[in-house]
Every structure is written in structure tokens, then in C-alpha cells.
Amino acid sequence: MQTAFEMEPRARALTADQKDYLFPWVRPYYSEPLALSSGEGVWVRDVEGDEYLDLFAGILTTSLGHCHPAVLDAVGTQMGKLGHTSALYVTEGQIEAARSLAEITPGALRSTCFTNSGTEAVESAIAAARLYTGQHEIVALRLAYSGRSTLTSHMTAQGAWRLPGGGVDGVVHARSPYSYRSPVGGGPEATSFFIDDLVEVIETTTGGKPAAFFAETIQGVAGVIVPPPDYFQQAAEVIRSYGGLFISDEVQAGFGRSGEQWFAIQHWGVEPDLMVMAKGIANGYPVGATVARPEIAETWQGPSISTYGGNPISMAAMRATLDVMKSENVPSRAAERGAQLRAGLEALRSSYGWIGDVRGMGLMQGIEIVTDRESKTPDGDRTGALLEAAREERLLIGRGGLNGHVIRIGPSLLITEDELAEGVRRLQSACRRADG
């Protein structure tokens, strides 16, 4: 079932050098790692010149596709004017980026702090929640991925992604709203089941006054887990009843990716107290953002700094990215292309009994691979084979799930109908390869 891919000499040399010079946690996909050198739109090339159709977008990050001309132009112009200032000075670009963000964030969310990554955005949100509430404990979700710092790796609830050693004081985890693997399934009683667990976790594993409930609106690394429609509305009510805040993680699901709305939380009519975002916000340039209601931001009066947060070049990339997103109406585009993608994935599910579930929203979709649908046993081996087979078809897709048994798909939000159709065709061919 496993496929083999023979590396060319240049790629093999680069892989050897990586092992010599980089930390071993820098771990590429595939049995023989793929060395990329260039890209344009949804197409990338490796160091040998072979072309691949990219349906993973650097983990849902190149939201406008590789090397979008508007972003390149904005960055090049900014580099010729001012490259770095630190947060000790006022720059027009940072203010305009924050204003552009406030135009699309829900409700009263208006005050932003810029950092370099999703990890730092999460750290900032947790600090702000603790300052505002005067409380310390954080309720996160099992199967979550929140980052690679000491705090965020322990907010992460997958063993392989956590730093070794003891946990971080004050972080507890409620059950993920994972209907496919819930003992009550995905019916009307599902939300009550998950919310009852959230209440029990608060009342039995915290002091009863948590600072915040923190959750990805669609859990990405967990395997594209979409909650029941009324889950977040009830979860927000629960955390607020205990005096805590609701922090919505839109690092992967934000900026139109879920379709129709700018942020996934808006599908459920819930206004968070804080939001965190990164990845697609600047089409691959390093920007993390924490957005809060002004009264929450106001409580953080002590000194703090992010040397590269709000960097002029990154802000130029972010402003250009948001301008293109707005002019192209990417929420509507993601909904349309997402429906096309979902139809293709559902067709695959009807053909292969080892595809247990297809789920997602817009252009954030997942395929759960199982040994058979009756047992629902996760099949990481076949998932690995499918990943390798897709590479043979010159198609880039992602992998997630606690057991590495979920295929993740999240292409550029500007992918065309023909490009997506070609991606589905290549995935069909990969499924045939992996069916042995």
C-alpha cells in the first residue's frame, strides 16, 4: 500500500544538510522529503523543476496563493521605504492594518496587538484575559493545537505535540465537540453532551472561576473538527456564567476560509470577547494578531513589547492581503469552491469504504480514514499511503488527527474552478493508488 518516491540528487543533498544543521523537530512530510524552490498561485515547483498542485497552502497560510503580485508589490515598495522600527514608534502601516482588521471583525472587537505568529497571538490573548478577569485558569479543548511555546504547547491536547515534562498550572481540557467519534453521535443530543462535559470540567478541575474558555472554531490539527451548530453559543454562555471570557481561535479558519463569513465563529452568531489569528492574514508573511473588546485591552497598562510585531514589511503584506480579500469577496468564493470540493470528496467517500467521514466548511475540508466504517478504527497507515500517492500525482495535501488518520485540504482562497477540479481528479487517482 505504501508508495515510494525516489529523490533526485539535489533534493537528497538538501535533505542531508537539513539533518546536519536544523533541529530534528523540523520534520518534513513524506518518506523522501520534498524540497520546494518556487511557486505561483496554487502551483509550486521542487528543486528539480517538477510542478505540483498545492491544496494545502503552507498549512492554510498562502491564502491568496504563492507570490500574489499585489502582495509582492506592496512588500517591495515598503522595503524601499522603511524596513523596521519596533513597536516603540508609530507607523501608518500598523494603524491602517489594525483599522482594516477592525472593519471585518465581529461586534465590538476593535483593539489589536500585533505579534509574529499564532503562538504569540494566543499568549497575548491569555495574558489579556487573565488581566481583565483577575483570574488565572484556562479551559481549552482536547485534541486542540495552540502553538509551540511552553504555555501553548500545554494548551495543546495531543500528546505528540506537547513538550515533555509536567503540564502548565491552570490549564484544563474539556471534551472536543467531535461528533463523529462521540458516543452520542451528531444528533440533537450532541451539544448537551459536550456542554455537560465543559461544565463538569470547570466545576471539578478548576477553582470555579476560570479566566477564559479558549477554542479553535474548527479544529485543524485535530482533523478538521466542526462543532454542532449550537455548541459555541452555549459554550460562551457557560464560560461567562463563571466570570470568564470566550477566546475564539481563527488562526486557521479565519479570513473567509469557512465560506460566506469572514470568521468561522460568525456562522453561529456568537461574538467572542477576544480573537486570535495568524496564517492567512498576510499570505505567508509573519503576522499574528490578537483582537479584543477595547475595555479588555485597556486593562493591559504595563509595559510589553514585540520587537518584530507590527513590522512595516509584514504590515504592508497584511494590508495588501486584506485589500485583495475584500475586492475578491473571498468568503463567497470560498463557499462556492468549497461546495465544489465537498462534492468531489463525498463522491470519493461513496467509492471507498475506508473513508469514514468527510467534513469541514468552505475551503477547509477533511477526510477521516478508517479501517472500516463500522468499527471506525483510525487507519494512519493508509492515510500515510494516500499522502505519498498524492505526491506521486503531483498533489500536495495535509495530514492531521490524533492518529495521523485525517487528510486535510485547504488551498488558496483564489483557487479557480478548473484548478480545483484538477486537484480533485488527482486526489481520485491517489485514492486508487492507496486502495491496494
Per-residue pLDDT of the chain (436 residues; tens, 9 = 90+): 444 566 778 888 998 999 999 999 988 999 999 999 999 999 999 999 999 999 999 999 999 999 999 999 999 999 999 999 998 999 999 999 999 999 999 999 999 999 999 999 999 999 999 999 999 999 999 999 999 999 999 999 999 998 887 778 899 999 999 999 999 988 889 999 999 999 999 999 999 999 999 999 999 999 999 999 999 999 999 999 999 999 999 999 999 999 999 999 999 999 999 999 999 999 999 999 999 999 999 999 999 999 999 999 999 999 999 999 999 999 999 999 999 999 999 999 999 999 999 999 999 999 999 999 999 999 999 999 999 999 999 999 999 999 999 999 999 999 999 999 999 999 999 999 999 7
In Å, how far are 25, 60, 321, 373 from 420, measured between CA atoms?
32, 15, 21, 27
* pTM for this prediction: 0.96
Q: By C-alpha distance, which of 409, 26, 423, 424 is closest to 252? A: 409
pLDDT of residue 60: 98
Q: By C-alpha distance, which of 266, 288, 342, 326 is closest to 106? A: 266
> d(Cα 295, Cα 316) in Å, to the nearest integer?
28
**Amino acid identity, residue 351?**
S
**3-class DSSP state of 39:** strand
Collect all residues with Cβ–Cβ distance below 8 Å to 54 and sequence separation of at least 6. Answer: 39, 42, 43, 44, 62, 66, 396, 411, 412
Torsion sign across C-alpha atoms 358, 213, 268, 414: negative
Q: Are 246 and 198 in contact (CB under 8 A)?
A: no
Torsion sign across C-alpha atoms 27, 29, 34, 36: negative
- State the distance between the two ends of the chain, measured CA to CA, in whole angstroms: 5
Torsion sign across C-alpha atoms 89, 114, 55, 255: negative
Strands (E), 63-194: 111-115, 138-141, 171-174
Q: Are 236 and 421 in contact (CB under 8 A)?
A: no
What structural domains does the chain harbor? 9-67+330-434 (3.90.1150.10), 69-328 (3.40.640.10)
φ, ψ of residue 261 in degrees (nearest 5): -115, 155
In Å, how far are 52, 60, 215 from 275, measured between CA atoms?
34, 18, 10
> d(Cα 133, Cα 385) in Å, to the nearest integer?
48
Find the DSSP H helices in 111-265. Answer: 118-133, 150-155, 190-205, 231-241
pLDDT of residue 330: 98
